Amino acid sequence: MRRILELRQLDANGGVRHDSGDPVVVVGSGLAGLLVALRAAPEGPIVLITKTALGEGNSIYAQGGIAAAIGPEDHIGAHLRDTLAAGAGLCDPGIVAATVAAGPESIAILQALGVPFDRAGGRLALGREGAHSADRIVHAGGDSTGARVIEALQRALRADPRIELREHTRVREILVREGHVRGVVTEGPAGELRSIGARAVVLATGGAGHLFSRTTNPVTATGDGVALAAHAGAAIADLEMVQFHPTALAAGASPLPLISEAVRGEGGYLRDPDGRRFMLDEHPLAELGPRDVVARAVARTALASNGEVTLDLTHLDAESVHRRFPTVSGVCADVGLDLARDLIPVTPAAHYAIGGVLADLSGRTTLLGLYAIGECAATGLHGANRLASNSLLEAAVMAVRCADDLATGSGEWKVCDPVALPSPAMRTMPDSDGRSVPELMWAAMGLEREEDSMRGALATIERRRASAPPATSGELTLAWLSLTAARHRAESRGAHFRHDLPTDRAEWAHRIAWLGGRPYRVATSDHHAHHIALAEEAA
Ligand SMILES: Cc1cc2nc3c(=O)[nH]c(=O)nc-3n(C[C@H](O)[C@H](O)[C@H](O)COP(=O)(O)OP(=O)(O)OC[C@H]3O[C@@H](n4cnc5c(N)ncnc54)[C@H](O)[C@@H]3O)c2cc1C
């Protein structure tokens, strides 16, 4: 570690021109974007920009629900403990404590906006998911929680005249002048470019599953917000941490339908091509082991046998299987399979982006006027591994906090000067690798990584960056940053598994942020003071 990065203290308006007529621009219309727009609307004009139809994004596909410690047998301390345990030593304890404490209030806010959460016995029905020590998953419409949440928020948003909506419009660039975010450049449905001035820009752009050739994420999840923020000079963190789901339906092209953990929870077995229950040898909990352990075992088994891993429910009562899992039964039926009677081919797939734009719980980034909330942000809540159903919680908590911060602009905002990404070195070698970026990333930075293949993929990405047309530069930036981060972390921890360095190491028990292509250690610090301390470390 060499020097402490100089962070400047500014109040939220930063002593720079503040035109109160300028709107707040919100980018994205998942849970995070819709909720921040609704909560911030009373304080001034909002322009909500979203690249497809309103509401399309990861949120609408969420099945399980939202984690909140509201059950009679549950308490905030238990939710905190479970989250820290999943995070494998990288969680920011202050962020975890504040997020889980805000869980019950977040559920109440969503209910007040019309989300019809499922009820049982006169109170909210609570489900249990892997690695939670209590029943604490609030859900709506059974396994259609995301769809019910987004429907309610969309309804509220369309009824609010203070929010100007621009659908099928993509943000292409964040405008920065004198170290302060001033607006965005957008590309409209007919390809027209336009700039919009803004007093603040809130990125709520979701995940990045499509950086990998196998993903459960819808096509919107291309990590745009992270690439936009990196180009604008903001710090990015934890990109080596990608959560892979063990069981996506291995049929057709990405996105691959998710087969939730609950199916294994109900008694489903994973079998290798010879019909063996290989998870019995892998973990004491067999099919119900931790998500990353099961995902790696599925990938390894498929590779070693050069065949298909399947999910087997044929020993269970067919009628109750179909009744219990209507959504999963439906997606299997779409490809000609009967969930209860056939062996269902499964594959791991990129599912959740733990890393993103370095932000505090209000979404403040290291760049004045730029906020990042929801899946595109990296707050330290998830550490090295996300606990199931904590991501919708994070999106809701951050949206509420961000709206409060936009309203009051209170407190000092510690910022770094924007730092440009290094330009790729010009290469004379032609790019002979015919694979797409997602194929390269799946091969080099999928469930198991090692130095040689990551170095090779990075060289290819750098060659392509040197000659990339602007339209593809976001994907290449994200791939470059992710590979750089994964190579830098010389250990295995949580979702980051390197088979050349298969154990964790005490000297790596900290988060790493990247600014202008250089690594910094993220100190856990007082999020109430909007203070994220960074210390440069050896590259
Ligand atoms: C199949 C599936 C099941 C899941 N189940 C659960 C669950 O049960 N519980 C849980 O907690 N989490 C779950 N998750 C994760 C969770 O859904 C996400 O983490 C969360 O919804 C992210 O919300 P968000 O608002 O940050 O992003 P999203 O909901 O992904 O919204 C991002 C928005 O940004 C827009 N956008 C992106 N780039 C641009 C751009 N350049 N310009 C304009 N607009 C842009 C997109 O169009 C989209 O509207 C699941 C995820 C998937 C894929």
Kindly tell me if the per-residue pLDDT of 410 is higher than 70: no
Using CB atoms within 10 Å of the CB of residue 2, give its burial: 0 to 12 exposed, 13 to 18 middle, 19+ buried: exposed
pLDDT band, residue 272 (cuts 50/70/90): very high
Q: Is 206 in the pocket of ligand 1 (CB under 6 A)?
A: yes
How far CA 467 is from CA of 173, 434, 483, in Å, comes to 19, 15, 19
| Residue 421: other Cβ atoms inside 10 A | 19
Angle between helices 31-40 and 145-158 (to 10 degrees): 30
Q: Is 160 helix (H, G, I), strand (E, B) or coil?
A: coil
Q: What is the pTM of this model?
A: 0.95
Q: DSSP code of 14?
A: T
**Mean pLDDT score across all residues of the chain:** 91
Which pair of structure tokens corresponds to residue 471? 């339209």
Q: Which residues contact 28 (CB under 8 A, 6 or more apart)?
A: 49, 50, 57, 203, 204, 205, 206, 225, 374, 376
Q: State the pLDDT at residue 527.
A: 63
**For the segment 453-486, what is each residue's pLDDT rounded down to a tens digit?**
999 999 999 999 888 776 668 999 999 999 999 9
> pLDDT above 70 covers what percent of the chain?
93
Atom number in ligand 1 closest to CA 209: 53
Q: Which of 291, 364, 465, 498 is catalytic?
A: 291
Q: State the pLDDT at residue 423.
A: 83
Q: State the pLDDT at residue 334.
A: 93
Q: Is 396 in the pocket of ligand 1 (CB under 6 A)?
A: no
Kindly tell me if the per-residue pLDDT of 384 is higher than 60: yes
Taking the C-alpha atoms of residue 489 and residue 88, their distance in angstroms, rounded to an integer, is 14
The protein residue with its alpha carbon nearest to ligand 1, atom 10, reads 389
How far CA 246 is from CA of 238, 255, 348, in Å, comes to 21, 14, 4
Q: State the pLDDT at residue 17.
A: 41
Sequence letter at residue 255:
P
Q: State the pLDDT at residue 143.
A: 78
In the residue annotation, 182 being an active-site residue is answered as no
> pLDDT above 90 covers what percent of the chain?
76
β-strand partners of 201: 25, 370
Q: Is 391 in the pocket of ligand 1 (CB under 6 A)?
A: yes
Taking the C-alpha atoms of residue 417 and residue 297, their distance in angstroms, rounded to an integer, is 44
Sign of CA dihedral 529, 409, 36, 112: positive
pLDDT average, residue stretch 163-172: 97
β-strand partners of 137: 67, 127
Kindly tell me if the per-residue pLDDT of 368 is higher than 70: yes
Tokens 């402490």 appear where? 4
β-strand partners of 368: 180
List, in sequence order, every beta strand (DSSP E) within 474-517: 511-515
How far CA 9 is from CA of 175, 178, 412, 416, 515, in Å, comes to 21, 15, 6, 9, 18
Atom number in ligand 1 closest to CA 63: 8
Taking the C-alpha atoms of residue 382 and residue 461, their distance in angstroms, rounded to an integer, is 28
